[in-house]
Each structure stands twice: as structure tokens, then as C-alpha cells.
Structure 1
Amino acid sequence: MSSRPDDSRLTPELLLHGYAQGVFPMAESRNDPEIFWVDPRLRGVLPLDRLRISRSLARRMRRGGFEVAVNRDFEAVLAGCADRTETWINDEIAELYMSLHNLGFAHSVEIRQQGQLVGGIYGVTLGAAFFGESMFSRATDASKLAMVWLVDRLRLGGFRLFDAQFLTPHLASLGFVELSRAEYRAELQTALESQASFLAPGPPAPAQDVLQRNAQTS
């Protein structure tokens, strides 16, 4: 973990350079102006062929009653992820990710019920790597649904690495594992040397297609 110089301001280009080097930015809190780089000793990643969809979540997917969208309202997803008592997303970080979205490097997967945004995930893409930044949920299973459709999109788009930064019990239940820093850097380099597209898969697929593809790859 290291701080940037006080007189420097992060730019979208510097942020992408940091991701390519295996580090990512955080702030201590919403109101703390200082941003520091984080380089975890252990990194949480998802082998894209190992996503675990529980029976209850599969039933929820088949039952429907929600809408999946991509990049319809990235700013609202970003705000939803920051809307909590403790957050590492300060105003400058939010501005940086909006800039990356406008440049085509940051994307969101969104879940809506009755037209209302109830969950979502956003992250950054470089080469064939997706760096998951944050997710939120305002309804049961909303963030899990976003995760399932995100992974389906990453598979279809040719991605090789899904970096979640830190492993949590929730992510472990979905199939995420930990890599050492050296293992992660090797995976990252391979992904950066490859090409993938977040948008090429087109509109989000029907639940049955997503479940079928997951069963074939898991």
C-alpha cells in the first residue's frame, strides 16, 4: 500500500496504468481526500469456468420478475455502491470511474425491479481482464443476479481474468479463490496480452441460456 504524492492528481490514464501494474486505488472514507494504491498479498479472483449458482438462485433466475441491463445508468450503479455508512469511494474516485466509463473502460451490469434499480456491479476492463470494483443490493439476490449475468458476459466476450481484489465469504461461496501476488501478476500479464470485448455479447441473455452455459462450463 502506498500513497500518491500530495501535489499529484490521478488521471484516468494513470489509473489504467495502475491496474496494468496490479494495483488499484482506494480512499479511507468518503470524506478523506487522500487516495492510496493497494497491492494485496493475496488476490481474490474467479476462474470463469467455476461460477457456482445455487439451486435457490437458479430458481430465482427462472422465476424472473427483474430486468438485466448493461451500462444503462453507470452513474447510478456507482452511486449505489457508494451509498453505505463506510465506503472507499470518495468524490475524486467517483469522478475517475465516470471518466473511465465515458472512455469505454468501465462498465456496469444492472438489476431492476418494476423499473427501479435494485442492484448492480461495476468494474474496469483492460485487455482480457475485468477488475471488479464494487457491487450493491437493495433487494434479495440482486447483486448475485448481477454477478451471474456479468460472468456470462465475460465468458462470451473472451475475458480471461475476473479480479475481485479481496476474497470474502460471499465471493468464496460463488467460486472465487485466492491467488498469491506472484500468481496474480502472471495471470494478469496473460490477460493483458489478450483481447476481449465487454459489449460484443450484445443484450443480456435470457436466464435459461445463462444457466445452460454455466452448466456446460462449471
Structure 2
Amino acid sequence: MTILRSDHLQFPDVSCTNKEGLLAIGGDLSVRRLLLAYRSGIFPWTDEPLTWWSPDPRAIFELATFRPHRRLADKIKKKEFILTIDKDFEGVIRNCARRAPGRETTWISPQFIQAYTELYKAGYAHSVEAWQNDELVAGVYGIAINGFFAGESMFYRVTDASKVALVFLFDYLRSRNFELFDTQVLSPLTARLGAIEVRRSEYLRRLERALASRTSFYPEPGPPAAPAIET
């Protein structure tokens, strides 16, 4: 098992993971290290100790072919929520960190919140919010680098609101010509929504292509807190 030093910005090759996908321990959650990790097919998961992962297989959503199932599509057509982008990133990540029924523990520690907020300020982390009666009722956040998006977590207070927000994000990413949506490890929820598993070698090929894309999350470079987009 590789132990990373905080003053040495480097990861071992992803082929060095154990069978669960654990690659290394240690290092830090600096913006530079996080960006290097995502560009290398690696992501952090816990901070006591800080662990870095690159599982095989890897879970993704196929942006080009994704279609919501009928019940969710009907929910979207009802337009019960106002959907925005980057209007309340901190509110989304803090809600994702809260314990909820069926989620008694969370990996989103105060250190993770601080680190990903720094990524947001640097223009790499983004959120989608779902609002109802001026209340934040759901959201999803993740990391965008060129044509690559890594979905990190989502929460909801109203049934299906987070799923509606996720589909809105998919549609937005398609409009920006994104090529890869990484959801890291397949869960029962993401499987029901249509996520699939691919071999890590295939994932890395897709990641390389997405990172080479000349697209970006916003049409023009701008401040991290870009104007909200409503629907």
C-alpha cells in the first residue's frame, strides 16, 4: 500500500490498487492534488485516514443514450421544481453530508466540504439545485474538467427531486458536449437510474478522450459563481 506525502504531488499507477480498488493512503485534499487525481482516474473517499481509489470495474452514466424511465419522465413534465446551477453549492454539499434515513454515516467530512468548496471557488466543482416554494429540496454536485464530469453526491427532501435534478444535469452536460459522467461505484440507486459498469481500462480510455475535449462547463470563462440557470 502506497503512503502519500503531503509535499509530494504524485500517485502510483492505478494498476497498483488492491482488489477493492484502494490505491493509496495519505497526502492532502489540495486543489492541485484533487485535480491530478480526477485526471488520473482516481478519487478520494475517506479522510481518517485519507484514502484514494480507482476501482475496477467503474460505474458511469452513458450521457449520449440516457433516457429517464417513464415514471421519472412524467415527474419531470409536471415541473414541480425550479432547477438552478451553482446557486447554492455550499447548501448542496452540506445537505449531502447530513445523515438521513438509510444513510447513517457519511464520508463528506468538514475537510471534504472545505476542499470541494475550494474546487468550486476555482471553477471546477458545480452543483444543481432543486427548489420548491423557495426552499432547497434537493441537489447534486460534482467535478467538471473539460468534457468530464464526476458526480460526487446528491440529497433530497422531497421524493424524486434529486433524480429530477440529476436528469437536468445530464441534459445540461449534453448541451455542452460532455463525453463522460463518472459515478465511481455502482449503487442500487444509480443502477435503477441506468448507470452501468465498464472495465477500468475502458474507463481510462474514455477519460482521456473527455479530458482532451475543448468543451467547458460554461459557454464562456467566468467567475466560479456563474448566474443560475432556471427551468
- TM-score, L = length of structure 1: 0.86
Listed one character per residue, the Cα deviations across residues 148-200 of structure 1 (whole Å, up to 9, x for unaligned) are: 10000110011000000011232222221101111111111111111222223
Q: 1:79 aligns with which of 94, 100, 107?
A: 94
Q: Greater helix percent: which structure? A: 1
Q: 1:4 aligns with which of 25, 31, 37?
A: 25
Distance in 1 of aligned mates of 2:141 and 2:29 = 19
SS in 2 for 1:69: strand
Q: Which residue of 1 aligns with 2:11?
A: none
Does residue 103 of the first structure (1) align with residue 95 of the second (2)? no
Q: 2:75 aligns with which of 60, 63, 76?
A: 60
Quote the RMSD (CA, aligned, Å).
1.7
Assess if the C-alpha contact under 8 Å between 2:85 and 2:229 holds in 1.
Answer: yes
Q: How many residues align?
A: 200
Does residue 174 of the first structure (1) align with residue 189 of the second (2)? no
Distance in 2 of aligned mates of 1:149 and 1:26 = 26
1:133 maps to amino acid: E
SS in 2 for 1:188: helix
Distance in 2 of aligned mates of 1:77 and 1:203 = 14
- TM-score, L = length of structure 2: 0.81
Distance in 2 of aligned mates of 1:172 and 1:204 = 28
Report deviation, 1:92: 1.3
Unpaired segments ≥5 residues, structure 2: 1-21, 221-226
Q: 1:24 aligns with which of 37, 43, 62?
A: 43
Assess if the C-alpha contact under 8 Å between 1:131 and 1:164 holds in 2.
Answer: yes
Q: Which residue of 2 aligns with 1:117?
A: 136
Distance in 2 of aligned mates of 1:158 and 1:181 = 23
Q: Which residue of 2 aligns with 1:35?
A: 50
Unpaired segments ≥5 residues, structure 1: 207-218
1:168 maps to amino acid: S
Deviates more, 1:132-141 or 1:191-200: 191-200
Distance in 1 of aligned mates of 2:79 and 2:29 = 41
Report deviation, 1:25: 0.4
Report deviation, 1:204: 4.1
Distance in 2 of aligned mates of 1:112 and 1:191 = 31
Does residue 137 of the first structure (1) align with residue 185 of the second (2)? no
1:68 maps to amino acid: L
Q: 1:137 to 1:90 in 2, by over 3 A?
A: same
2:76 maps to amino acid: M
Distance in 2 of aligned mates of 1:71 and 1:189 = 26
Q: Which residue of 2 aligns with 1:211?
A: none
SS in 1 for 2:164: helix
Listed one character per residue, the Cα deviations across residues 23-57 of structure 1 (whole Å, up to 9, x for unaligned) are: 10011xxxx63211011111111111222312222
Does residue 200 of the first structure (1) align with residue 215 of the second (2)? no
Distance in 2 of aligned mates of 1:162 and 1:19 = 12
Q: 1:47 aligns with which of 62, 66, 71?
A: 62
SS in 1 for 2:139: strand
Assess if the C-alpha contact under 8 Å between 1:51 and 1:174 holds in 2.
Answer: no
Assess if the C-alpha contact under 8 Å between 1:108 and 1:122 holds in 2.
Answer: yes
Aligned-pair identity (%)? 40
Report deviation, 1:140: 0.8
Deviates more, 1:61-70 or 1:120-129: 61-70
